[in-house]
Structure 1
Amino acid sequence: MKAFDTSLFKRILEYSKPYQWRFNSVVVWAVSLSIFAALRPYLLKETVDGYINTKDASGLLFYISLMGFVLLLEVVSQFYFVYWANWLGQDIVRDIRTKLFQHIVRFKMTYFDHSPVGQLVTRSVSDMEAIARIFSQGLFMIISDVLKMIVVMAFMLYMNWKLSMIVILAMPLLVYATRIFQIKMKGAFEEVRTQVANLNTFVQERVTGMKIVQLFSREKIEYEKFKVINDKHNKAWIKTVWYNSIFFPIADIISSFTLGLIVWYGGLAMIGGDSQTTIGDLFTYTMLISMLFNPLRQIADKFNELQMGMIAANRVFAILDTSKEIQKEGTLPTPRFKGEILIDNLHFGYTENEKVLKGISLQINAGQTIAIVGATGAGKSTIINLLNRFYDIDEGSILIDGENINSFELTSLRKQIAVVLQDVFLFADTIYNNITLYNPAITKEQVIDAAQKIGVHDFIMSLPNGYDYNVKERGVMLSSGQRQLIAFLRAYMSEPSILILDEATSSIDTYSEELIQKATERITQGRTSIIIAHRLATVINANQIIVMDAGMIVEQGTHFELVQKENGYYKNLYDSQFVTVL
């Protein structure tokens, strides 16, 4: 396994180009920090040999003051180095995170069908912070430590080359141990990131589906599954702790052994009358060895941060490099649609060998309201998904006003198609913001006027704070019927050319259904509307009803035409639901 991926590192550095001046400044501060840090021990040697041994009080005061000034410069360098490195890291991560989110929102639905939400959250949040630490705790800290080691070694060689040779001979042992440590830690951190993503995915899914967990009394089962995943996460981290526990004592032993040799050899040299070795040398080397070996130890630690960040970056770049899942943009801006839809020989499957639609052809005239009915899995909602270009068509085509939908700019196409789903998603925000979705062109007065027109204003005003009522995450403060009413108003405010109601009344109470029926009558006026439903009471007045089964259209006509067909699919469905009631 490679300890360091150079190509990946270069790619990360590409994101620092907009901040080149700040990047260079951090390097300058790192150089200053290394010089000032190494200069203090050298000044200590001069102080001991030149003024303490000679009992020169005035010279001693001068050098002590000089050491204090150098210390102040070191502190200033340290401040700007740390602050600017962290600032740079956060700005780079902001740019990558923005690019990642922009990339994710352009994916086809196929990508989300096969990608756990928890993993995407991990990539967008915790992995990003790991990338930030490349600059705040990894790269620049390593640069600073390497520079400090170079300067320290230069001072050592200048002061006493004999004592320096002892240090030089000990260095390869620590370098070799550091190299092995880096390789082992890279593999360990890859496992850590994998287990973090698995843990996030599991927790996110169970918290989101907590109602199902409790309804089916799966608390103990999910608890046991969590323990297994959590244990794997724990073991992955323990492996990193194990490697740290081995490396750092070895580094301490090498450092202490080297220091002992310096004191022993230097002491013998002084006893033997070697004039090149002084008390100041021993004082200084005690500090310099620490300044030389500790950065090497820290480089290993900072390299861990660098490795964690690069592993995280590799995962993020894997998403950014996913291009085949990106939705293809058309070039034509959409005019205001008349709403004529032509579906010609449409074939589609979510998986390669399982076709959901098998040669669907359908003509919908502008301004018509059509209904699509059929059993679950017949392919009703799939037609809507393809009309909105959530998925690519396998074979055939869909035309709106005579133009293939693939030719239109994707955003402008979807702006003219409003969809009300069975499972309405509301954000943890006010009703007003959930209706407008922060569209600055829509005023509160317009929302209130629209709510009054479709008959939901009184319901909204009955809530605390009215339009400013916070519905919390996924709209949990509202009933399913109330969420549907908000979704109808949201669709109405978008002024679509084409309206789609996908099982919009399948799980609501009678009172909410009456309000929705009134809202439906209002918002379908003057626009092409497609209603998908199991409950046939909502489709009786449609201009035409499309009956689907197993991915094909089996019947087509008005309600009164279809109920006349003896043993017809629609007639049997209608009789089973309503004949006893009507």
Structure 2
Amino acid sequence: MAETARMTPSRRDYSMFDAELTGAVMNLSLLRRLLHWMKPYRVTFAVSAVLVLVASTLQILLPMVVSLVGIDYVIGGRTDTGTPDMGLVELTVAISEGLGLPPLLAACCLYVVLQLAWAVTVHAHRMTLITSVIKGLRDLRLDLFRHLETRPSSFYDRVAVGRVMTRVTNDIEALYELLRGLGALIGEFAPFLVALVIMLSISAELTGILLLALPLIAVVTFYFRRATRVLFRMVRLSVSALNQNLQENLAGLQVVQLSRREDYNNRRYTEINERNLSAETKSMRLETAYGAFTDSMASIAIGAVLWFGGGDVIQERMTLGGVVLFTQFIAMLFHPIVVLGEQLNVLFRAMASGERIFQALDWDETIHEPDAPADLPPRLQGEVAFRDLSFRYDADVPVLKNVSLTIAPGEKLAIVGPTGSGKSTLIKLLGRFYDFEDGQIFLDGIDLNRIRSRDLRRRVGVVLQDFHIFSGTIHDNIALGDAAIDRNRVVAAARTVNAHDFIAALPKGYDTPLSERGQNLSQGQRQLLAFARVLAADPEILILDEATASIDTETDLLIQ
């Protein structure tokens, strides 16, 4: 048996699945691993990268049409300002002469065409990027689901299902925000660099004055994001506590009302809600202050451009259009720093989420499968033998010790004992939900560890006392997606357990949709469905774990 199968579950560190999302450092190996799921869509990513460069170029040209073409050329009549205009003036002249339009109308037409081209290009860039990211994360989510679906019961005995669901939902969503944000960041910095080059060509002195503000904005953004990271975590924790409290009390509403616990629950919920309000308020105040700071810096920058640029215009060292272009480029200069600060928070959360996702994907705990599985006959005789079986869930807590018994083909055996004596454990081991040593359980003389778990579970039917109803119709819950089980077999199984009459009385019969956990059926009716689904599979060995506890006496006798 492989070492991973031999490893005692208690020796594993399950506590890592309970770790809160607190942020993580930059992890390039994690990013490279994430790109594995993006690789099939690399062509689409390449198209998106080209589109973002085109969109950035168009974003730069739009204010240049207004300032250098509209103000300097059309209004000011200047054709040679010494400022690089990307050929926009010549293009405007060509449109004017070619279509017989006044220069101002030609400039307006050029602006409209560039604006439409920018809108179409940005939309195409976003759609190609998001489509690629969504498809890649879809594949990652599917691989994660498949992996988690094959983890043994010993894993879910120690890891809360809610924590596992977080990896499939919230953590995948965090990666989506990261990849989408990186695309947005590229879209911000591409025009930033082009605008910076143009601004330097117009006035290096004025550009230098504006650049002095960037370190201040960067420092304030850094400390702001560090503070909000703590506050956002407090908000997430308080929201999680609110949801947990709400779910707990609504799920047990009948107990709450019978025990007159409403006032006590209201006080507890109010306390948690107040903590959430405090964290949300602090976060809002900090966000508002930071927004006011960035807006003020932009206004101060515009004032500096008007003051220093106005002087240069008077002294004819700059054109009026050049000053206007500077004011329009300010947002392109400052906004990427703000966006970078926002993406750092997303990056920290996504790194933590990525580590937790790959932590789950790398979890190698599994039920061992034989290297050379035994070939089972078309139909088993059904002899089950336990030979000196010992088992423990935890290293220091034995559950079964030296259990030996043989059940002959066709024999019925009832195992009774006090709670916790290991009755259900015997059933779980016979279904190979847990690993055990070789040579302890045999089926028709074949060691269970030499039988593939999937092959074994086709032959052994188990009706657990904790049964589960899935979303879907009654037929779906009996057939469980097995194409070999048609409507006739479903009906026959339902008749056997005396469930056909209540199913036929429903408005849609076997096509009646069931609500969450089958709440539109009684406990006994749900248990009959669980019984019918096992019989529909036609197993050679049938095991009942208090399977008729919620069924009336008449039906119980009929089943027996």
* Corresponding residue SS for 1:166: helix
Aligned residue identity for 2:58 = F
1:43–1:67: 8 Å Cα contact kept in structure 2?
yes
* CA distance 1:211–1:310, change in 2 (3 Å): farther
* CA distance 1:194–1:96, change in 2 (3 Å): farther
Please tell me whether residue 300 in structure 1 is matched to residue 344 in structure 2: no
* Corresponding residue SS for 2:292: helix
State the 1:455 CA deviation: 4.3
Aligned-residue sequence identity (percent) comes to 35
* Corresponding residue SS for 2:482: coil
Partners of 1:392 and 1:194 in 2: CA distance: 37
Normalised to the residue count of structure 1, the TM-score between the two structures is: 0.80
After TM superposition, list the pairs within 5 Å mapping 1:395-474 onto structure 2: 397-453=440-496, 455-474=498-517
Please tell me whether residue 373 in structure 1 is matched to residue 430 in structure 2: no
Partners of 1:86 and 1:19 in 2: CA distance: 11
Greater relative contact order (CA < 8 Å, ≥ 6 in sequence): 2
Deviation string 1:356-414 (CA, Å, 9 cap, x unpaired) is: 21221222223322110111111101111122222233797322233332332222222
State the 1:197 CA deviation: 4.9
Please tell me whether residue 321 in structure 1 is matched to residue 362 in structure 2: yes
2:72 matched residue in structure 1: 49
State which drifts further: 452-461 or 21-30.
452-461
* CA distance 1:316–1:214, change in 2 (3 Å): farther
State which drifts further: 155-164 or 330-339.
330-339
* CA distance 1:289–1:268, change in 2 (3 Å): same
* Corresponding residue SS for 2:335: helix
State the 1:264 CA deviation: 1.1
Partners of 1:359 and 1:234 in 2: CA distance: 58
* CA distance 1:226–1:17, change in 2 (3 Å): farther
Aligned residue identity for 1:460 = I
State the 1:490 CA deviation: 0.9
Q: 1:36 aligns with which of 58, 74, 81?
A: 58
State the 1:248 CA deviation: 2.8
State the 1:491 CA deviation: 0.9
1:118–1:198: 8 Å Cα contact kept in structure 2?
no
Q: 1:291 aligns with which of 308, 316, 332?
A: 332
State the 1:232 CA deviation: 4.8
After TM superposition, list the pairs within 5 Å mapping 1:78-477 onto structure 2: 78-136=122-180, 138-190=181-233, 192-193=235-236, 197-234=240-277, 237-238=280-281, 240-271=283-314, 273=315, 275-324=316-365, 326-331=366-371, 332=373, 335=376, 336-393=379-436, 397-453=440-496, 455-477=498-520
1:347–1:396: 8 Å Cα contact kept in structure 2?
no
* CA distance 1:147–1:127, change in 2 (3 Å): same
State the 1:31 CA deviation: 1.1
State which drifts further: 477-486 or 155-164.
477-486
Q: 1:480 aligns with which of 523, 545, 551?
A: 523
After TM superposition, list the pairs within 5 Å mapping 1:487-502 onto structure 2: 487-502=530-545
Please tell me whether residue 75 in structure 1 is matched to residue 119 in structure 2: yes
2:556 matched residue in structure 1: 516
2:442–2:448: 8 Å Cα contact kept in structure 1?
yes
Partners of 2:250 and 2:33 in 1: CA distance: 36
1:116–1:201: 8 Å Cα contact kept in structure 2?
no
State the 1:227 CA deviation: 4.1
Partners of 2:363 and 2:242 in 1: CA distance: 23
1:334–1:409: 8 Å Cα contact kept in structure 2?
no
Partners of 1:236 and 1:86 in 2: CA distance: 32
* CA distance 1:343–1:280, change in 2 (3 Å): same
Partners of 2:388 and 2:145 in 1: CA distance: 35
* Corresponding residue SS for 1:276: coil
Aligned residue identity for 1:131 = L
Deviation string 1:8-48 (CA, Å, 9 cap, x unpaired) is: 33333332111111111111111111111011122223221
Deviation string 1:337-364 (CA, Å, 9 cap, x unpaired) is: 3322222222223333222212212222
Partners of 2:44 and 2:164 in 1: CA distance: 31
After TM superposition, list the pairs within 5 Å mapping 1:540-579 onto structure 2: none
* CA distance 1:12–1:202, change in 2 (3 Å): farther
Q: 1:65 aligns with which of 87, 104, 109?
A: 109
State the 1:321 CA deviation: 2.8
1:130–1:312: 8 Å Cα contact kept in structure 2?
yes
* Corresponding residue SS for 1:371: coil
* CA distance 1:266–1:180, change in 2 (3 Å): same
* Corresponding residue SS for 1:362: strand
Deviation string 1:221-261 (CA, Å, 9 cap, x unpaired) is: 44444445555555555554454334333322332222222
* Corresponding residue SS for 1:114: coil
State the 1:173 CA deviation: 1.7
2:72–2:78: 8 Å Cα contact kept in structure 1?
no
Partners of 1:321 and 1:414 in 2: CA distance: 26
Q: CA RMSD, aligned part only?
A: 2.8
1:329–1:410: 8 Å Cα contact kept in structure 2?
yes
* Corresponding residue SS for 1:347: strand
Aligned residue identity for 2:120 = V
Partners of 1:199 and 1:417 in 2: CA distance: 43
Partners of 1:150 and 1:135 in 2: CA distance: 21
1:118–1:200: 8 Å Cα contact kept in structure 2?
no
* CA distance 1:460–1:61, change in 2 (3 Å): closer
Partners of 1:318 and 1:188 in 2: CA distance: 26
Partners of 1:38 and 1:11 in 2: CA distance: 35
Partners of 2:223 and 2:438 in 1: CA distance: 55
Partners of 2:374 and 2:267 in 1: CA distance: 53
State the 1:155 CA deviation: 1.6
Deviation string 1:204-237 (CA, Å, 9 cap, x unpaired) is: 4444444444444444444444445555555555
